[in-house]
Structure 1
């Protein structure tokens, strides 16, 4: 029960603003390094991300679902395509 209360409080704090987080905010929320989250996105892994214009955003509900190990077919439709690698 305590874990659920903590998750609810974190979600409530995030929702006071926009439910969409940038990469740095999403990484902090998940307890990951920003570079780790960027690498996962580049490989088509990690939480669902969306492109809002030129910006990549993560919805807090998608971050929570990914953290719980959940993934639906609908989520796959919203995944940002992997970014091209510059060699």
Structure 2
């Protein structure tokens, strides 16, 4: 079983500040996260899938929301 990452551990993998990742959770635009009570965690596989879904070839290509 793979270790789950905290917000502060996951943010650098995406290239954003932890606060940005927290805001994205509220907006529903960031990678999937796991909630257990008040704790929030990220699976590395979910982060990689989210990044892969946003991979584009040109600036005119639309990105999935």
TM-score range relative to shorter protein? 0.7 to 0.9
Segments of 5+ residues of structure 2 without an aligned counterpart are 55-65
- Per the normalisation by structure 2, the TM-score is 0.72
CA RMSD of aligned residues (A): 1.8
Aligned residues: 54
Separation of aligned partners in 1, 2:14 and 2:3: 14
1:59 has 2:43 as partner: yes
Greater helix proportion: 1
Unaligned runs of 5+ in 1: 1-17, 71-87
Q: Runs of 4 or more off by more than 3 Å in structure 1?
A: none
Quick check: which has more Rg, 1 or 2? 1
